A and B are shown apart, each in its own frame.
Chain A
């Protein structure tokens, strides 16, 4: 039962570098989400997708891009890393947009130095 798998678990980037955070789910969920969590704070939604080929902005999308070419994968791209993007990133998925809960991965801890 893999659920939601995120890679890498940890990463250190230099300012201005780019990277892609990977997220995959094996539950055939239509909806997928990216959140960030800063120290001592709750989660904030970055982007979400309601199905392959469809994405939309969440609460804090600036500095990030996403794509959804398959149902299983939802990568998050940082183009020009900034210190403000130091955070823990969580990917989640759910069956639909009604009352179904979201299931989360274990996160990627990203530091920008």
Chain B
């Protein structure tokens, strides 16, 4: 599975959009991009995933560049409860063991 690169930390003002970048320059054609977050060492929470088209759900939007080498998770109106570590993961749909490789993620702090 392709590796990902994320900034270690980011701040965002409450009520503003939080844009979390992820670089996955070695991604292959059958690999999806997934985003999870982890709040206060709780279990990772699934946010969104996509292959090549932009995706949106009730939590966030996922923007994937045309060459698929990077993506951005957008939280449209960040709240204090969005303070968490955000993980960007790429995984093949045919990956052995279906493992999700979690790195160290981006620690997002939403500031009042």
Which A positions have Cβ atoms within 8 angstroms of B?
A: 4, 31, 33, 35, 37, 40-43, 45, 48, 56, 58-59, 88, 90, 92, 94, 97-99, 101-107
Contacts and interface: CB of A to CB of B under 8 A. Distances in A.
Chain B residues touching A, range: 20 to 34
Nearest to A31: B98
B102 A43 contact: yes
Given A42-B105, A104-B43, A107-B43, A97 B99 contact: no
Interface string B7-42: 000000000000000000000000010100000011
Nearest to A88: B41
Contacts of A90: 43-44
Given A42-B104, A48-B99, A101 B34 contact: yes
B43 A4 contact: yes
Among the interface residues A43, A90, A94, which one has the most CB atoms of the partner chain B within 10 A? A43
Given A98-B93, A99-B51, A101-B49, A45 B42 contact: no
